[in-house]
């Protein structure tokens, strides 16, 4: 392994390619237990932290490709590397045997502290690389899929279930390196925080780490086509987790209806991942404390905000800062007591919480305003979409709920997103959309209800012609159906707007799920009132939506039963390049002391999307 300077940033860059190339030759016991995938005869590696650590490799130029899993030990190899004196301006390339003179790369160290750790080394020449570009379209009944190890098959399933990117930005570039998966469990003052995660170390590592929050309640692979490919291409190590849950509780994970209030830990889980991954990279590469950045989309953006706020508190208590800065992409905002205590009695009542704009209330208001798709008085009709502006009767209530007028194009689609599933035998999804399902599951989470207890206000249909309980229950609920205890849990999620590392937010002007005013502007207001505005930038992206998958125009926007016939893609800007550009501004702000340009509305052309972040400027 050779260590050299990155250049103008002066940050150590570790080239791990040479060390990884030898990982195709795995050492360990002579026998492999076919039932468990672990070595049944050799002593377990003490550095792996558990006795069932598993390592696999796709091979390397000098290593054999066996397809077998081993105990995680790796072999060294003779390779050509470049060396640079970190104290001089000159650089020379030399042929060296092994890694003499350089710190050894210890891949086993990447697995320490995880339950059921699994290590895979990717060559990046037909195996998909760290970004798994061959997994997106892999048929799960094909011989190629069936030939994969069980852990790789699980990755395929998770990746295909969580895609949120635009088809215009389908990843294709393979990046070699090492990936570790497993479960990280941390015990805090208020219980155990457990999440599944993936840590990616590219062969050409730039010496930095990015902690990615997960959108929605999606898996640790939910960023695989969103931010991951761009970051890997620039050499960042990446750690991403699933917040301890997956949609519908897949793979035995928790759900939002587990009665344990999982959202209360989402910010801390970002810190857990960052501290663990930073220590593992330091142990594996001998590079002291890599700088750590946070980034995330949607609920992952909320995680970034909350993590920087919690890190600020840690610094105030004498602990070292973890995050150098953060990128919040369309994050959710949970207001704190200072924003909701309208009568100044030093507490937030259920009525005050019901009146405030937050993730639950804004989605409930949108669902009630647009109406159930199959109700006679619904606004979600082809005629309503055709109005100028779309759904004109809904505008007063939707704008009061924190949505921008520009987002009206997608209000109908988000009111009935999953209704089509009823035609495939899933009648419970009749009339279900992002608005009512988001409001339902987050309400149940705050109330501490399971699936049975939440039936009274469920968004799911019985397949008949009457709206589900969600609608009549909300219309008659006193104080919005909230209790003092549920308000207490909501306040545990609250954003303070107080942080002390640079934070950049990008938010789409047409975001119809997490409305611009309720989630971006309101958070900026909190920072202006209680935080340090000099440490914050908000870039509103003209025509930008919530997730780029929907901005491709493939939803049923006008409720006519057809997908994508409205030509809506030409009204939405693809957000990902703007998030990438914002991240570059963030790094320059932190490492070059070059503050990002002032926040602004960034003009775009939704018909001719600019997909190259390097061509964008927020000046």
The overall average pLDDT reported for the chain is 86
Kindly report the CA angle at 568 between 564 and 574, in degrees rounded to 5? Answer: 110
- β-pairing verdict for 2-5 and 12-15: antiparallel
Confidence tier at 19 by pLDDT (50, 70, 90):
low
**What is the C-alpha R_g of the chain?**
25
pLDDT digits 0-9 by tens, 385-424: 999 999 999 999 999 999 999 999 999 999 999 999 999 9
pLDDT digits 0-9 by tens, 29-44: 333 233 333 333 333 2
Confidence tier at 23 by pLDDT (50, 70, 90):
low
The predicted structure's pLDDT at residue 610: 97
- The DSSP secondary structure of 535-575, one letter per residue, reads GEEEEEETTB-S-HHHHTT-S-TTSSS-SSTT-GGGG-B--
Separation CA 152–CA 146 (nearest Å): 10
Separation CA 170–CA 222 (nearest Å): 14
Instruction: Read off the pLDDT of each residue in 571-587 and give the average, rounded to a whole number.
Output: 99
Instruction: Read off the pLDDT of each residue in 177-202 and give the average, rounded to a whole number.
Output: 93
Contact 179, 237 (CB under 8 A): no
| Whole-number percent of the chain with pLDDT over 70 | 82
Domain boundaries along the sequence of the chain? 2-290, 348-380+416-492
Which is more confidently placed, 31 or 251? 251
Instruction: Read off the pLDDT of each residue in 68-94 and give the average, rounded to a whole number.
Output: 32
Instruction: Read off the pLDDT of each residue in 222-242 and give the average, rounded to a whole number.
Output: 96
Q: Omega of the bond prior to 221 within 30 degrees of 0, cis?
A: no
| Whole-number percent of the chain with pLDDT over 90 | 77
How many of the other CB atoms lie within 10 Å of CB of 106?
A: 17
Which is more confidently placed, 231 or 54? 231
**302: pLDDT strictly greater than 90:** yes
- β-pairing verdict for 204-205 and 81-84: unpaired
Length of the chain: 619
**279: pLDDT strictly greater than 50:** yes
pLDDT digits 0-9 by tens, 84-133: 333 333 333 333 333 344 567 999 999 999 999 999 999 999 999 999 99
Contact 359, 512 (CB under 8 A): no
């Amino acid at each position: 392994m050779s260590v050299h300077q990155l250049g103008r940033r002066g940050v150590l860059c570790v080239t791990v390619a040479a060390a990884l190339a030898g990982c195709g030759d795995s050492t360990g016991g002579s026998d492999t237990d076919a039932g468990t995938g672990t070595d049944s005869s050799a002593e377990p590696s003490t550095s792996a932290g558990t006795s069932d650590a598993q390592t696999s490799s796709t091979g390397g130029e000098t290593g054999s490709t066996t397809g077998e899993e081993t105990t995680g030990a790796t072999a060294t190899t003779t390779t050509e590397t470049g060396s640079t004196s970190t104290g001089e301006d000159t650089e020379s390339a030399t042929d060296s045997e092994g890694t003499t003179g350089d710190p050894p790369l210890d891949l086993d160290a990447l697995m320490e502290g995880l339950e059921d750790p699994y290590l895979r080394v990717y060559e990046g020449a037909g195996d998909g690389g760290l970004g798994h570009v061959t997994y997106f379209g892999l048929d799960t009944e094909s011989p190629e899929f069936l030939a994969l190890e069980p852990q790789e098959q699980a990755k395929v399933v998770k990746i295909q279930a969580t895609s949120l990117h635009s088809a215009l930005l389908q990843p294709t570039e393979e990046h070699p390196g090492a990936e570790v998966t497993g479960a990280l469990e941390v015990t805090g003052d208020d219980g155990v925080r457990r999440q599944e995660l993936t840590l990616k170390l590219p062969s050409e590592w730039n010496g930095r780490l990015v902690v990615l929050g997960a959108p929605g309640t999606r898996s640790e692979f939910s960023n695989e086509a969103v931010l991951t490919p761009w970051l890997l291409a620039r050499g960042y190590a990446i750690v991403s987790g699933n917040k301890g849950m997956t949609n519908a509780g897949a793979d035995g994970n928790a759900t939002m209806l587990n009665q344990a209030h999982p959202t209360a830990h989402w910010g801390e889980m970002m810190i857990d991942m960052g501290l663990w991954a930073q220590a593992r990279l330091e142990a594996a590469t001998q590079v002291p404390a890599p700088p750590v950045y946070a980034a995330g989309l949607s609920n992952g953006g909320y995680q970034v905000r909350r993590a920087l706020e919690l890190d600020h508190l840690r610094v105030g208590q004498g602990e070292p800062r973890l995050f150098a800065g953060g990128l919040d992409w369309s994050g959710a905002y949970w207001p704190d007591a200072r924003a909701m205590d309208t009568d100044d009695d030093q507490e937030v009542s259920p009525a005050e919480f019901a009146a405030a704009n937050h993730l639950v209330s804004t989605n409930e208001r949108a669902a009630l305003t647009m109406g159930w798709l199959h109700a006679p008085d619904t606004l979600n009709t082809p005629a309503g979409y055709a109005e100028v502006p779309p759904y004109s009767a809904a505008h007063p209530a939707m704008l009061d709920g924190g949505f921008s007028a520009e987002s009206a194009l997608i209000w109908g689609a988000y009111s009935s997103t999953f209704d089509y599933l009823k035609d495939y035998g899933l009648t419970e999804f009749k009339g279900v959309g992002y608005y009512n399902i988001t409001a339902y599951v987050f309400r149940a989470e705050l109330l501490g209800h399971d699936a049975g207890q939440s039936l009274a206000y469920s968004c799911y249909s019985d397949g008949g012609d009457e709206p589900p309980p969600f609608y009549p229950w909300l219309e008659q609920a006193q104080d919005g159906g909230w209790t003092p205890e549920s308000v207490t849990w909501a306040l545990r999620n609250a954003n303070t707007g107080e942080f002390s590392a640079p934070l950049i937010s990008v938010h789409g002007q047409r975001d119809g799920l997490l409305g611009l005013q309720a989630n971006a502007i309101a958070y900026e207001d909190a920072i202006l009132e209680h935080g340090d505005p000099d440490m914050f930038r908000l870039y509103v992206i003209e025509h930008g939506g919530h997730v780029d998958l929907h901005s491709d125009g493939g939803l049923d926007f006008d409720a006519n039963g057809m997908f994508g016939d409205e030509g809506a893609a030409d009204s939405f800007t693809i957000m990902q390049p703007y998030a990438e550009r914002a991240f570059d501004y963030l790094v320059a702000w932190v490492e070059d002391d070059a503050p990002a340009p002032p926040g602004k509305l960034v003009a775009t052309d939704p018909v001719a999307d600019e997909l190259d972040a390097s061509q964008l400027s927020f000046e």
